[in-house]
Amino acid sequence: MDIIAAYREAGTYRGAAEIAGTTHKTVRRVIARHEAGGAAPERAPRGRNYDGVAALVAERVEKTSGRISAKRLLPAARAAGYAGSGRNFRRLVAGQKQAWRREHHRGRRPAVWSPGEHLVIDWGAEGGLHVFCAVLAWCRFRFVRFARDERAETTLALLAECFEVLGGVPGKVLADRMGCLKGGVVANVVVPAADYVRFAGHYGFRPDFCEAADPESKGIVENLVGYAKSDLMVPQAPFGDLAAANAAAAAWCAEVNGAVHAEICAVPAERLVIERELLGPLPSLRASIGRQVTRKVDRLSCVRFASARYSVPVRLIGQSVGLRTDDGRLLVIMTGTGQVVAEHVLVAPGGASVRDEHYGSPRPATPRRAVRPRTAAEREFCALGPTAEAFITGAAAAGHTRLGPELAELNTLRAAHGEQAFAAALDRAVAFSRWRAADVRSILGAGAGVPGPKAEPGDALVLDLPVVPVRPLADYAIGGLS
């Protein structure tokens, strides 16, 4: 039966429900809709338990530009009479913040990067190790290096290394308001530090700074910092030393710059070749960064720094040079031109870092003691040249204490037999380690027909011995026992 007819028949909701086979609530809704002309009756709005503090929340959200948290605002709401749950109050605050942002949207636009225009830099830290990140905006070429601190000289040195890796200088370097690069702020305008201004003038770029507390304006490098932490620092940590960390960073950069970038659908290393043509040229000399100390090159062609010695080219003996430490290295710089003439890894006090190329030849395996004749007999004997020097050196090494008095006898033998025969005899004496004057006299008496050693050092000595008659073993047998 129809619900309306059943209601007319029974006159009650429950009676009509029994007749129609439904519930009394359904009957009530149907009768109310019928009496309203067929449309659903208007439902009276239900109040919420936070309606009394909604105005307070809207005021505080407006006052704090949508930054206040529900946790901080809840005590004030409790004092104003709110008795509901914290979860329901968080819904109110979230809704008010969303409404405020719709009315106060900043109208941010996506960045449009031009080739050769922007390099974006930033610092990050993870596990006590600081990471410097830079992105060449148009080609998305990424540069990552590690350091022990975030001081101004460290930042400028890594920025100079970044320019060298890129092969040019972009028009602007965009950074956040780093304390190491910021000299001050006037009317929200950042004044760069004096060292940063000199550095920018040397390389030919314009410093640029983001708005305060606005990481979205340089999100291109913020993403790189997070990527370097998650993909490089966390999987490979801990690093043994800073050099190993930077070697790993260089290998990681080569890997990511050689893969297709998801944003530009191109390989950053390949696009860098195109953008490099629009970058400014690198200066002929790297800028002088940080504090320098002056040292004079001593007679050993070395300079002293922190109680250690470091070699420099011998042509600089007696000149003054500048020393600067950079990332665990010591740089030796010409004070007039700024040219780096030597580079060493820092060593402990009392140590020495010596480079063979600074002296023109490698260090000899054993120290060479030169033969310097002083007496007339010594000068006469040493006039033979290297053969006489080799004879004196060998005799001294063998402990021949009578060498000095016997030089006069050797000079006499030289005069008697001639210089050529005497030199040959000395060569033979050196070859067979015969160091006395009597030995040289015997060699001269034997003449030039004696055999000499033909084998190289280390080879077996084979001599042609004379043939002599031999007897068979049977000749030595005892008659009855053989």
pLDDT tens per residue, range 215-274? 777 778 888 888 888 888 888 777 778 888 888 999 999 999 999 999 899 999 999 999
* Per-residue pLDDT reduced to its tens digit, 341-393: 898 988 889 999 999 999 888 887 766 677 888 888 888 888 888 888 888 88
What is the structure's pLDDT at 453?
61
What is the structure's pLDDT at 451?
66
Q: Which two tokens stand for residue 60?
A: 């505080």
Distance CA 73, CA 94 (A): 12
Distance CA 401, CA 306 (A): 46
What is the pTM assigned to this prediction? 0.56
Helix (H) or strand (E) holding 15: helix 13-20
What is the structure's pLDDT at 367?
63
Q: What angle do CA 38, 43, 44 make, to 5 degrees?
A: 145
405 and 365 Cβ atoms separated by less than 8 Å: no
Strands (E), 100-192: 118-126, 129-136, 141-147, 172-175, 182-186, 189-192
With a cut of 50, which residues of the chain have pLDDT below it? 482
Q: What angle do CA 60, 64, 67 make, to 5 degrees?
A: 105
What is the structure's pLDDT at 455?
56
Q: Which residue has the tokens 């190790």?
A: 129
Measuring CA to CA, which residue among 103, 11, 20 is closest to residue 58? Answer: 103
Q: Which two tokens stand for residue 404?
A: 């000095």
What is the structure's pLDDT at 482?
46
What is the structure's pLDDT at 95?
93
What is the structure's pLDDT at 192?
92
370 and 389 Cβ atoms separated by less than 8 Å: no
**What size, in residues, is the chain?**
482
